[in-house]
Structure 1
Amino acid sequence: MSPSGIAEHAVEVLSARERQRFLDHHPNSVALAARARQALFGGVPMHWMSDWSTPVPLFVERAQGARFFDVDGHDYVDFCLGDTGSMFGHSPAPVAAALREQAGNGLTSMLPGEDAVVCGELLAARFGLPFWQVATTATDANRFVLRWARAITGRKVILVFDGCYHGTVDEAMVRARDGHTVHRPGLIGQARNLTQHSRVVPFNDLAALEAALAPGDVAAVLCEPALTNIGMVLPEPGFMARLRELTRQAGTLLIIDETHTISTGPGGCTRAWNLEPDFLTLGKPIAGGVPCAVYGCSAAMAQAMQLARQHASELSHGHGHSGMGTTLSANALAMHCMRANLEQVMTPGAYEHMLWLAARLAEGFRTLIARHDLAWSVTELGARCEFQFCSTPPRNGAEAEAAFHDSLQMALHLYLINRGILITPFHNMTLCCPDTSAGDVDRLLAALDAALTELLAIPGAREG
C-alpha cells in the first residue's frame, strides 16, 4: 500500500491526462525543448531542470513579483520562487533599481566598497553575529566555514543530520542507513570516501547525537534548524537548545545553515529561537535573486580564525592558499543588490504579510485534507508550508522519506502547472512572498481541491 493511500493506477490515469494537456497547450515550450536538445546536455542548462513533472521543460519568458510568464503566453502564480532564490519575489523593485545603478559603475574589481561595510553592519544587527564574510553560493559559504571549523578545532569529522540540505557540500552527501553513515544514493564521480570524515545521525534524536559526539573528534555540526529538502521536518521542543549544550560540552562548533529557514523571520530561526551558533551561513535569497551568500561568526570564532591564519602562514613561510574564496565573491554588483535587499525588501512588514498568508495556506491545506478524508498532514515554517503524505508530521528524515509517493506528487504538481500554479518540485512545499495575495492562495487551494476531486473520482483510487 502506498503511503498516501492513493492507488497507483489512479495516479497514472490522472498523470497521462495531464501530460497530454501540457503538450497540447505548450507548443512553444515543446519546440524549444527539441531545439535545446541539440545544444544543451539533456536539453537544459542544468540537468536537474529536466526533473520537473512536465513532459518537456517549461520555458519561462519573464517573471515579476509572485508571477511568471512562459513562452506560450500563460501566466502562473509562483509558490516555488526559485526554491527560495526569489523568496522575496521576482525582481523586487529596490533590487532591480540597484542592478541599474551598479550596471554602469563596475561589476567586479576584487576590492571592497561602502556597500560591503553597510551589508556587514546590517547582517550583524539582524542575526546577532558580529563578523561577516561574503561568498557566491551557500555551498561555497558552507565549504569555507567547514575549513575554518577544522582549522580552529584541529579535528576532521563533520556531523550532519540525515536528510539535511547544505547545497552540494561533499561532507553532506551522506545518509544514515541501519545506524551507519553511507554515501548518498545517486552521487556521480565520487572518488573520496566521504564516510571517513562525515557522520550522520537522525534529526530529533538526542541519544544518537550525544553518542556521535562522544568520541571527541567532531569539528562541527552543520545543521539546518529544520529539515527542508526531504520534506519539512521541524525540531521537537528543546532539541535545538540541547544541541547547543551538547556541542559546547564536546568542544564541537555549531554551524546553522539558514538558507531555507530564513523564511521564519528577518533574523531566521537563529534570532527567533535564540540558537547562538558559532557560525551562520545563508545563500540564495540574500541579494534578492542575484547570486550571493554570506557567513557570519561570533567574536570568539573571529579571534580563532585569525590565529588559524597566522598558524597556516607560519607553516607555509608566508605563502599559500586558504582554499576559500573566488574572484567573483563579494563582487560590487552583488553587494549593491544585497544592501538594497536587506534595507528595503527583507523588512519586518514584508515578513508579517508572508507569514500571515502562509498560515492561511496551511489552514487551507488542512481543510482540504479533512474534506477529502486523507491521512495526510501539514508542516509550517514561517512563510513556507508543506502537505505531506503521512498522518502526522515526520520527526526525522527517514520518516519524511517513507512518506514519499513520487508519482502522486508529480501528478498533482503537473495538474497545478496546467492551471497556472507552480509549487516547489521534488516535494509539496510552498513559499509565500511579499507580492503573494490572498487571492493567489485561494487559487492554489481551489486548484488542489479540483485535482483531488478528479483523482478520487477515478474508480479504485482509494486503497484499503
Structure 2
Amino acid sequence: MDRARLRHLLARESGEAERRNPRSKAAYERADHLFGRVPMTWMNKTAGAFPRYLATARGARVTDIDGHEYVDFCLGDTGAMAGHSPAPVAEAVRRRFTESGGATAMLPTEDAEWVGAELTRRFRLPRWSFSLTATDANRWAIRLARAVTGRPKILVNSYCYHGSVDESLIVVGPDGRGTARPGNVGAPCDVTLTSRVAEFNDLSQLEEQLAHGDVAAVLMEPALTNIGIVLPEPGYPAGVRELTRRYGTLLLIDETHTFSAGPGGCTAAWALEPDMLTIGKAIGGGVPAGAYGLSGELAERLLGRDDLDLVDMGGVGGTLAGNALSVAAMRATLEHVLTDEAFAHMVKLSERFEAGVRAGITAHGLPWSVSRLGARTEYRFARRAPRTGTESAAASDAELEDFLHLYLANRGILLTPFHNMALMCPDTTEQDVDAHTGVFADALSDLAG
C-alpha cells in the first residue's frame, strides 16, 4: 500500500470531518469538566480529532448534533443489538417507571422468573442471577468458581474481551509466557498471580496451563471478538470442554458479544456445554443489564455451602442488580425484539454484508480477510483470517483503520470505533447493507489511486 497516499487521504477525511461537524467539535472543546473531555475515556477511541455527539437514535439510525444521519452498524458495540429504542422495550420501561414505579425497590418482580426461564430455553443452563453489566457478571461468576473449586487462578485467552475484569488482562508474551496486557491501568497485583493464559485455538497450550492444577475456571469467548473476530477451528470447543473436565476446571463462557451467533449465542449454535455462562449489553435493549447462568449441579453445590455469604456482604451482587426496570427491559427485549425470527433476518443481512466486503477486497486484490459470526461481520488487514488473539492484534493498522472509519462516517455510515466490526439489528435493511458496500468500494478505489 502507498502509505504516503494513505496519509494524504486520512488528512483529507479528517479535514472533512471537522468541516462537517462544527457543533460536535465545539461541544468537545467545551467539555472541561469531563476526564478526557468525554463521559468515558474510551469515547476518545474515534477516528479524527473529536467524537460526533449524539442527538437522536432510532432503530438502525443515529443522528448527530450537526444534523447528519448515519446507518449505524456499531449499535453500541452490541449494547444496541436490538436497535435503538425498540418500541416494546421503550413501552415496558415507560410502564415500569411511570405507571408501576418501584424501579429499584429491592424487591423481586415476576418478570425475573420469565427472563430466567427464557435464558434457560436459549442457553440450557437452569439457574440465573442478574447484574447490570457483563463485567460484573464475570466478576461474580469468577468468585463462585473460586469458592466451589478452592482454586485461585482463572485462565483466559490472549487478547480476549471480558470487560474490565482484572484477571482477564493478560496476554501470551513473546517468550510464550503470560504477561500483563500492554496499557493495563492500575493493576492490583501482578496478573500472573491471579491468572493463566493460553492462545485461542491452541489446545496443547491450554493443557499445559491446566496441568498446574490451580485453575478454578476457564473464562472464554466461544469466538474472540474485540480484537477482531477469531473463529474456533474444528474440534477446538469440544477439546476445551474435554480438557476442563479432565483437569477438574469449570468452563465459563462469555456470550456478551458472541450472542450475535443466534438466539442462544454460540452455546446453542455449537451445542456447547458450559458450567457457567455470562451475558450482558444486548439483552437489555439499551438499558443496563447482565446475567450469569449456572448448571443445576453447580447451583446446588453453592447453595449447599453454609460458609458462603451469598446474601449480604459475600462479594456477589449489587444493590441495583436485578432491579425491576432492568428486568422489565430484558423481558421485552427477549420476548418481542431479539426473537428467533429477528435473528434469522439479522444473520441473512450479515451474510449480504460479508459478500459485499469480499467483493470489494477481491476486486482490488487486497491481502485482507473477512470473518462473520452470525449477525456480526468484521474485515481484517490480513490475507488469512487470524487464528489466535496475538495474530489478530498483529494484523492491526491504525492509520488504515482510521481512514476507513472516517471515510465511512463522512458518508453516513458508522462502524464500531474499536475495530472494523459491523452488527445487524432487527431494523437494519438490505439498503443499509448495500450502502456500506458501495461506500466501502469507493474507499478502496480512492486508496488504489
Q: Which bin holds the TM-score, normalised by the shorter protein?
A: over 0.9
Unmatched segments (≥5 aa) in structure 2: none
Q: Distance in 2 between matches of 1:440 and 1:342?
A: 24
**Structure 1 portions without partners, runs of 5+:** 1-5, 458-464
1:426 deviates by: 2.2
Q: Which residue of 2 aligns with 1:263?
A: 260
Counterpart-to-counterpart distance in 2, 1:114 and 1:454: 56
Give the Å deviation of 1:51: 1.5
Determine which of 23, 26, 44 is the counterpart of 1:31.
26
Number of the residue aligned with 1:460? none
1:140 aligns with 2:136: yes
Stretches (4+) displaced over 6 A:
none
Q: 1:9 aligns with which of 4, 15, 29?
A: 4
More off after superposition, 70-79 vs 401-410? 401-410
The yes-or-no answer on 1:173 pairing with 2:169 is yes
Q: Which residue of 1 aligns with 2:437?
A: 445
Task: State the secondary structure of the residue aligned to 1:234.
Answer: coil
Q: Structure 1 CA distance, aligned partners of 2:138 and 2:363?
A: 43
CA contact (8 A) 2:61 2:72 kept: yes
Match of 2:52 among 58, 66, 70: 58
Deviations along 1:326-359, whole A, 9 cap, x unmatched? 1110111001111111111111110011000000
Q: CA deviation at 1:8?
A: 2.5
Distance 2:204 2:2 in 1: 38
Matches within 5 A, 1:7-406: 7-36=2-31, 38-104=32-98, 105-177=101-173, 178-308=175-305, 310-312=306-308, 321-406=313-398
Q: Report the secondary structure of 1:56's partner residue.
A: coil
Shift of 1:216: 1.4
AA matched with 2:247? A
- After superposition, the C-alpha distances for 1:410-458 in whole angstroms (9 at most, x for unaligned) are 111011000010001121111011111000001001111111111210x
Shift of 1:210: 0.9
1:3 corresponds to: none
The answer to which of 76-85 and 183-192 deviates more is 183-192
> Any idea what SS the aligned residue of 1:295 has?
strand
Change (3 A) 1:85 1:319: closer
| 2: CA distance, partners of 1:352 / 1:224 | 22
Question: After the TM superposition, which residues 414-453 of structure 1 pair with which residues of structure 2 at under 5 Å, given as runs?
Answer: 414-453=406-445
Counterpart-to-counterpart distance in 1, 2:129 and 2:359: 44
Secondary structure in 2 matching 1:312: coil
Return the letter of the residue paired with 1:77. V
Instruction: Tell me, in whole angstroms, the C-alpha distance in 2 between the residues paired with 1:136 and 1:384.
Output: 23
Cα distance in 2 for partners of 1:312, 1:258 equals: 27
Report how far residue 361 of structure 1 moved: 0.6
- State TM-score, norm by structure 1: 0.94
Q: State the 1:190 CA deviation.
A: 2.0
How far did 1:319 drift?
A: 9.6
Q: SS where residue 379 of structure 1 aligns?
A: strand
The C-alpha deviation readout for 1:79-134, integer Å capped at 9, x for no partner, is 00000000111011100111110112221011101111111111111211100000
Q: Is the 8 A contact 2:338 2:426 kept in 1?
A: no
> Displacement, 1:41?
1.7
Deviations 1:396-415 (A, max 9, x none): 01111111111100111011
Note the C-alpha offset of 1:320. Answer: 6.5
Separation of aligned partners in 2, 1:447 and 1:305: 53
Shift in Å at residue 191 of structure 1?
3.3
3-state DSSP class of the match of 1:200? strand
Distance 1:409 1:108, change over 3 A: same
Single out whichever of 25-34 and 219-228 deviates more from structure 2: 25-34
Measure, in 2, the Cα distance between the counterparts of 1:103 and 1:191.
Answer: 38
**For 2:123 and 2:50, how far apart are their aligned partners in 1?**
42
Q: Distance in 1 between matches of 2:42 and 2:402?
A: 15
Cα offset for 1:74? 0.5
Counterpart Cα distance in 2 of 1:408 and 1:34:
26
- The yes-or-no answer on 1:411 pairing with 2:408 is no
User: SS state of the match for residue 172, structure 2?
Assistant: strand
